[in-house]
Structure 1
């Protein structure tokens, strides 16, 4: 698999899946531009893998969509063209419908919707001009239906999944690969505070290896683990009344 990509850009690279995927790619010969708000965490990651690969820390807050566009385009120019761009950064604070805090909803939209769209759209046209490239969005199995206490998060992931699919339809014939990743529950800092039982929970290294291999083989859509993916698919067939009763009091897959 080594040498599949020369350069990659990943958001949310300071922790969780993003951190693990940045290291996974770097160890396979990819020069990774790892972006996040916490520069010190990125620098620590770069030192951790420096004997095996290269991670270039990029301090960036994807909630600022305009800045995200500018930073990615600048890196694309300076490195001779990004070959892989991964929109991974996301947040998942609770947004219960009965106590909806607009500040929280707005923050989720800024990061998970505007930030992700800016990340994936920043150099899409340039990849088309080059006739190659790969765009990857880390969505969630929460995208399938609206979920209790996380109404904004599940909606944001539904947006991302459909945005990725539209990109795939448009860009595939133009030589650009597009991949949607739909993880179930993964043990990361983002899920550490969940008070409910997380079925089919995966360790982050396992999840990262699965995601990395799906990217390298050019999968158009990858949902995992299969047990959770099956439940997610079946849930879309349930009538609204059954769905409502089934998920009340339950949680949501996180990043």
Structure 2
């Protein structure tokens, strides 16, 4: 089986790479930090393909995807796991560029990642596209407008894509992580309930991908939290969340 993963040099992408390599699959691993990506590949069993590319560079991303297709033929799974996070405030004009970067990386790069693979998958009538949303996208969180909105956008986009591609035999899986132990969450200056090791997350995510689950929250406890958050009326959610701890802004 051939698996293409973006954001593979660290965090969720690296954990997913370790899992799929251990299962004997051929990987196309893409990230902008070449040294870290190369260091990861040297630890993986098997022979894999490395692409040092910024996911916001659409042409370079497409070129990498097309090369991987030429190298392996049919691609079974594509995981758009590249993502960034930062606190943002609308009144801070400097944060506008942070908003743009978060949306370009989390949302538009997900679209760019999937684009080159859809025609081939439709042609062969099989394949799975995986988008990474977040529990943070269930409701808007104070101080995290860009991140919450971007992850809500990923979830909604993947739902639309799922309906578009279902008649062609393709699957679209949306995974919404809760708190996973990565470099990204290490910056959070607050407690993180149900914090999960990244390698455990990867095993659970891979199981959901193999089962073609349309939407899954990992860990499952955060799925319950998400359902409660979604069900709360605005007045009650506002009262509970207005003073919630906030992601730090970029310095």
Q: Is this contact kept in 1: 2:8–2:30, CA < 8 A?
A: yes
Alignment match of 1:171 (pick from 157, 162, 165) = 165
Which residues in structure 2 correspond to 1:123-202 (within 5 Å)?
Answer: 123-202=117-196
Alignment match of 1:17 (pick from 12, 16, 31) = 12
* SS of equivalent residue, structure 1 residue 190: helix
More off after superposition, 223-232 vs 149-158: 223-232
More off after superposition, 66-75 vs 11-20: 66-75
TM-score, normalising length from structure 2? 0.93
* SS of equivalent residue, structure 1 residue 137: strand
What residue is the counterpart of 1:71 in the other structure?
64
What residue is the counterpart of 2:212 in the other structure?
218
What residue is the counterpart of 1:81 in the other structure?
74
* SS of equivalent residue, structure 1 residue 61: coil
What residue is the counterpart of 1:243 in the other structure?
237
Q: Is this contact kept in 2: 1:36–1:59, CA < 8 A?
A: yes
In 2, the alpha carbon distance for the partners of 1:21 and 1:154 equals: 23
Alignment match of 1:91 (pick from 80, 84, 93) = 84
Q: Is this contact kept in 2: 1:28–1:53, CA < 8 A?
A: no
Post-superposition shift, 1:99?
A: 2.8
User: Unpaired segments of 5 or more residues in structure 2?
Assistant: none
**What count of residue pairs does the alignment treat as equivalent?**
246
More off after superposition, 7-16 vs 243-252: 243-252
* SS of equivalent residue, structure 1 residue 97: coil
In 1, the alpha carbon distance for the partners of 2:155 and 2:235 equals: 25
Post-superposition shift, 1:252?
A: 7.2
What residue is the counterpart of 1:3 in the other structure?
none
* SS of equivalent residue, structure 2 residue 66: helix
Q: Is this contact kept in 2: 1:8–1:31, CA < 8 A?
A: yes
In 2, the alpha carbon distance for the partners of 1:169 and 1:36 equals: 29
Find out whether 1:203 has 2:203 as its counterpart.
no
More off after superposition, 214-223 vs 63-72: 63-72
More off after superposition, 215-224 vs 141-150: 215-224
Post-superposition shift, 1:227?
A: 1.7
In 2, the alpha carbon distance for the partners of 1:159 and 1:77 equals: 31
Find out whether 1:30 has 2:58 as its counterpart.
no
More off after superposition, 182-191 vs 212-221: 212-221
In 2, the alpha carbon distance for the partners of 1:126 and 1:238 equals: 42
Q: Is this contact kept in 2: 1:91–1:111, CA < 8 A?
A: yes
User: Unpaired segments of 5 or more residues in structure 1?
Assistant: 1-5
Q: Is this contact kept in 1: 2:182–2:198, CA < 8 A?
A: yes
Moved over 6 A (4+): none
In 1, the alpha carbon distance for the partners of 2:246 and 2:66 equals: 34
TM-score, normalising length from structure 1? 0.91
